[in-house]
Structure 1
């Protein structure tokens, strides 16, 4: 489909999505929230998703360049395991539970802006990481989707929360609240340039992955900017041990990093990946006004790679108090981000 689209074609596309409406910039969405700026869907109108989608995947493809998708009143379930407690004898692909491994997929939508959305995960939280590894992401951006913006998403209990793959270079993740993430809060294993700003990662096994694994990708000419973002690591059972990975999971082929005004909070004294942490500091071409919080009461190990001068380090109770304050301030400042029914407004 070409980037240009007449209104009839756009209406046919819109009609393919359940509970979909077209909303002019002068109207208000459900709940009385302020109207969006003029959207850039068909005829300058945003696409509006609303209601409970449950286990039904929503796939959006070939939208006009710069389209806006307003999902502020939409809820999705993300589920990667067919049973509630995967194990070595009964993995996450076995069982009868419903799955929805990729609730929202955005493909071939250059300059798309996805706003809001509440993703309630059913990914098991206590089983071993290896047994729970049935690949999944709450929101997947792929194909020719350069310059995509994901803004104001609330997601919890996912495998990966947001994943950017081939063709999604120049992404922007802004004002998102992601918690209880079993793997990566953000997966960028295609080593794309992008910006992660003003986000709260409130408990994740791995923060931002820029690790191509065994794939022959090279991101050394790319840059990822982490700005004003709070990353709190959470220890999960992984290979028989309660631990977590690093705030940035990097290799020598990862993009260069700009880390500004951000907080990295480490929860497990036995955390894994000291070599990855050392590599993170080495990849940082800009590093200023940051905090590294060592939350345990145990002393920092002598082998721990201390951060560069752009980080201030706090330990123990001082670190926990700093995190609690920063965490509360972020939530209070982002009342427009969706809440779950068991969370305070």
Structure 2
């Protein structure tokens, strides 16, 4: 058994592991600027346990930049990853080119700017007992190479919670926006879905992805819930193995499921990562008059406590403690209380552990 512990500022990279190697990273946290925080592979039956990767990409980071950052790339036949926690990377866990029959168990993937779980080499694999809370795309298994055909394999997703997160950096379409639950094609694996809860608050920006299980791809399916908090009917037909929940009842069901998962999977390490925050509105160089709604996008790896808006370094009003839509914190501001002219607007986010971060300032012109 290999052990990794403490705060790591360099990536973990070992692609020559022997068969049956175990790595205990339950006391390790990665805060690295490397494109891949954790990369492992080599022999068969490798098991990686625990560990947390904390990214620092501001919410305003473009999709094309964010997708180059991976929390973890596990490889090797029958590789198992369990209990890993990832925050604010482009991709969560992306299985490599030689990872048939992979397993991801007990993982917490939070605020993944592209795919939460990626299986682009179209192997059979299993996601079990995971919380994927804030994905641009839930599961991506469209083959990297056109010649790859995984249609005879089965990817099982069970006992898992997955929520799509509207992001400020998108591949296409309106902002904030997200892709869909399944990035799939004819040569992607079959899907088996058991005892899962899915949540979406708006339709997908990406028309070539699937908000429901891809047609003709269900190898097995039972006891799933779709929580739809968007406008109108659900965007795609759901199979009979799904129960659709909406409104307050749906939100309560999701919140209770997440609270139970977190109670069953407490973090093993202290909160050492600050939040990430960007200003969302008004836009840079905007001219503002009268009462203006200020909006910041802020997220933390654990628990965000508050966001404070500032003009020229001075707080504007009280702290905002509630995101009425996930990650968006707003404050009505009467610009008539400040002098006309050009000013710098910013926002500072604080988490429950006392860590903080300040958004890049933007110029605004007050004209009243």
Into which bin does the TM-score normalised by the smaller protein fall? 0.7 to 0.9
CA contact (8 A) 2:181 2:212 kept: no
Structure-2 separation of matches of 1:51 and 1:269: 40
CA contact (8 A) 2:120 2:141 kept: yes
- Is 1:67 aligned with 2:21? yes
* Deviates most, 224-233 or 101-110: 101-110
CA contact (8 A) 2:103 2:125 kept: yes
- Is 1:160 aligned with 2:91? yes
- Is 1:331 aligned with 2:259? no
The offset of 1:75, in angstroms, is: 0.8
- Is 1:53 aligned with 2:38? no
- Is 1:249 aligned with 2:183? yes
- Is 1:225 aligned with 2:159? no
CA contact (8 A) 1:269 1:300 kept: no
The aligned residue for residue 138 of structure 1 is 71
Matches within 5 A, 1:185-334: 185-213=116-144, 215-237=146-168, 238=170, 239=172, 241=174, 242-269=176-203, 271-273=205-207, 276-277=210-211, 280-296=214-230, 298-300=231-233, 304-334=235-265
The aligned residue for residue 120 of structure 1 is 54
Structure-2 separation of matches of 1:338 and 1:273: 40
CA contact (8 A) 1:113 1:149 kept: yes
Report the CA distance shift for 1:136/1:300 in structure 2 as closer, same or farther (over 3 A).
same
Secondary structure of residue in 1 paired with 2:81: strand
Report the CA distance shift for 1:337/1:150 in structure 2 as closer, same or farther (over 3 A).
farther
Report the CA distance shift for 1:340/1:322 in structure 2 as closer, same or farther (over 3 A).
same
Return 5+ residue gaps in structure 1 as ranges.
1-45, 79-98
Report the CA distance shift for 1:146/1:330 in structure 2 as closer, same or farther (over 3 A).
same
Higher strand share: 2
The aligned residue for residue 16 of structure 1 is none
The offset of 1:214, in angstroms, is: 5.4
Structure-1 separation of matches of 2:95 and 2:270: 24
Offset from partner CA, 1:82-124 (integer Å, 9 cap, x none): xxxxxxxxxxxxxxxxx31112110213101100001001133
Secondary structure of residue in 2 paired with 1:146: coil
Offset from partner CA, 1:2-54 (integer Å, 9 cap, x none): xxxxxxxxxxxxxxxxxxxxxxxxxxxxxxxxxxxxxxxxxxxx100011111
4+ long deviations beyond 6 Å: none
The offset of 1:308, in angstroms, is: 0.5
Report the CA distance shift for 1:156/1:255 in structure 2 as closer, same or farther (over 3 A).
same
Structure-1 separation of matches of 2:22 and 2:214: 34
The aligned residue for residue 103 of structure 1 is 37
Secondary structure of residue in 2 paired with 1:236: coil
Structure-1 separation of matches of 2:22 and 2:7: 20
Report the CA distance shift for 1:175/1:109 in structure 2 as closer, same or farther (over 3 A).
same
The offset of 1:278, in angstroms, is: 5.1
The offset of 1:338, in angstroms, is: 4.7
Q: Which has the larger Rg? A: 2
Report the CA distance shift for 1:134/1:324 in structure 2 as closer, same or farther (over 3 A).
closer
Return 5+ residue gaps in structure 2 as ranges.
273-301, 304-351, 354-368
The aligned residue for residue 77 of structure 1 is 31
Structure-1 separation of matches of 2:38 and 2:208: 34
Higher helix share: 1
The number of residues matched between the two structures is: 273
Instruction: Compute the TM-score of the two structures, normalised by the length of structure 2.
Output: 0.70
Report the CA distance shift for 1:273/1:279 in structure 2 as closer, same or farther (over 3 A).
farther
